[in-house]
A and B are shown apart, each in its own frame.
Chain A
Amino acid sequence: MSLIFLKNIYKIYNVGGEEVRALDGVDLTIKENEYLAIMGPSGSGKSTLMNMVGCLDTPSSGDYEFEGEKVHNMDDNQLASIRNRKIGFVFQTFNLLPKATAQHNVEIPLVYANIKREKRLKMASNALASVGLDDRMHHKPNELSGGQRQRVAIARALVNNPSLILADEPTGNLDSKSGQEIMNIFDTLHQNGNTIVLVTHEDSIASHANRTIRLFDGKIIEDVAK
């Protein structure tokens, strides 16, 4: 069974009376343990597609099934619950809470999943350990390097064992060495059975994935598997 099933997805914005087709009839199936890179020029709809897959956004029209459940019919609370339990997000700008420690940042999805404190602390430390930050648990974001911050964000995405990890240009704000470290972590996650979708501009990053799709003007124009 496929993890993600998108059929004939449109996302249409109306800007000043003019129609912008951010997604223009996208069909996409993602299987479990796939490692997918989304590429394409700026404005081609990569982020829009990723947000759609991540249940942050709903399509203007089209069908979307996540693990066999029809997402396009769900209300906000159901979408929030899917994001909370099934999906881990990694953002280009890290999006950590500046005043919270690494551990607390990683805890947040567990708070919304209503998990008890002791268990939360343990799960958060384990997740941080798995990205090699066991010695930085009580640091705040401004006490961490960019690469370390992104590792905290990955730990946060991992912490509730999601079915899918989504990363929108995760190395976009990092130097190449830190970027390489981050990609190594994604590779390991993939080897451990996780399903990963990442958006990137760089071929060197996309080369880590085993399947690459290319968007242009909201359409998938290329879909190649390694």
Chain B
Amino acid sequence: MFSLFIENIKISVSSVLSNMTRSLLTALGVVIGILAVTLMGTLISGLDQSFEKSMEFLGKDVLYIRKFQWFGNKDWWEIRNRPNIQTKHSETIRNKSQYAKYVAPVAEWWTSVKKGDENVSGVRVSGTTEEFAMITIAEVDKGRFFSRAENRSGARVAIIGKDISDALFQDKNSLGERIRIGSYNFRVIGEMEKQGKFLGMFSLDNQVIIPIGAHQRLFSRRGWTGINVKVDEADLDNATEELTALMRQVRRLRPSDEDNFAINRQDPFKEQYAMIKIAIGGTGLFITILSLVVGGIGIANIMFVSVKERTKEIGTRKALGATSKMILFQFLMESVIICLFGGLIGLGLAYGGSLIINSFFPSEMPFGLALAALGLSMIVGIVSGLAPSYKAAKLNPIDALRYE
């Protein structure tokens, strides 16, 4: 039986190849279906990777006291009229909170950074305290973070991100060098490690970190401010409650007043991301199923045509000793091969597409999904080939031989 199996495959392959254009057109639905499902998988795997990294940046155990709720749905006017977070409250929190392990105020402003003729614009200038180094997961790669004393004295020292060191210093040493942040001179004392992009949107490395005192004196108070609080992961909920109470206290809110600040953490990102993932997955799946169904119908149709065209061949084969099963298998094989062929083309295109996706953010085509996709195209081949193949198998040899 095995040699018959091989022969049947050969017969099917040669018949598919001899009708190349037709097979290609027929397989188009499967090509698109497989392309959609694998590209979707690649996209999601890439998003997962980049999302994980970005979530690491936010940290599991850090609470962010901000003016806005991340992904909140509060009225815009209400939010706009809220007071800014005052960085001095970080002292209150540090003194009164029993959950806070580290507290760092953060003020941000965007301006250009220069060194000689080199100029980087739109750099995020973060002012904070030395405790920031304990909260962020990013490490200082070269040099050091500023000290408590430097922070107190408002020293003009800066830790620069990787984008800045690449642009201004290339391979040269940056430590001890002077740079201009906006129109003020600062001395570089450290370089942060490379962190990549946040959710693929903006570079975390396009920043400089300076003591908050200097920041507030030099860069107005117009940028946004917030307070980052590191707690134990187990205490997140309690700490959120406690910080809310503390903030309400410093803001002197009456019990009937609503919170006019927000305590953020990474969770809503996860929920939001899960929804995006479902949306992408759902769309991909929808396109996949639709094109596989349409493609499957097309294949069934072309197989019916093929059976009709080759009625005489079927009669001859039966006269020469082919059983119904062998004929069934031959045509089933043919439709499976058309589908596999389409599946492989789809995978090839998807691989190309995954390289393109990869140039935007790191991602890879999931191997298991590629295999499943091939399996899926085989199933489409079997399902859509079944009726035409059965028709071929059941042909009466005499009628088939008489067919003109």
Q: Interface residues, chain A, CB within 8 Å of chain B?
A: 51, 54, 56-57, 76-77, 80-81, 83-85, 89, 91, 95, 97, 99-100, 108-109, 111-117, 156
Contact = CB atoms under 8 A, between A and B. Distances in A.
B149 interface: no
Interface string B319-331: 1111111100000
A99 B312 contact: no
A138 to B, nearest CB: 15
B220 interface: no
A105 to B, nearest CB: 10
Interface stretch (B1-9, B167-175, B244-252): B1-9
12 contacts: A51-B398, A76-B324, A80-B322, A80-B323, A81-B323, A83-B321, A89-B320, A97-B313, A112-B317, A112-B321, A112-B323, A114-B3
A21 B104 CA distance: 103
A54 B319 contact: yes
Nearest to A108: B320
Contacts of B325: 77
B333 to A, nearest CB: 14
A81 to B, nearest CB: 7
Contacts of B312: 95
Contacts of A113: 321
B323 A77 contact: yes
Nearest to B312: A95
Interface in B281-338: 312-313, 315-326
Given A77-B323, A80-B321, A99-B18, A117 B316 contact: no
Contacts of B317: 108, 112
B322 A116 contact: no
A99 B319 contact: no
B385 interface: no
B401 interface: yes
A83 B326 contact: no
A109 B317 CA distance: 8
Contacts of A100: 14
Contacts of B18: 99
B321 A116 contact: no
Interface string B386-400: 000000000001100
Contacts of A77: 323-325
Nearest to A89: B319
B7 A111 contact: yes
B5 to A, nearest CB: 10
Contacts of B326: 112
A89 B326 CA distance: 19
Given A95-B312, A97-B313, A99-B14, A114 B321 contact: no
B321 A95 contact: no
B4 A111 contact: yes
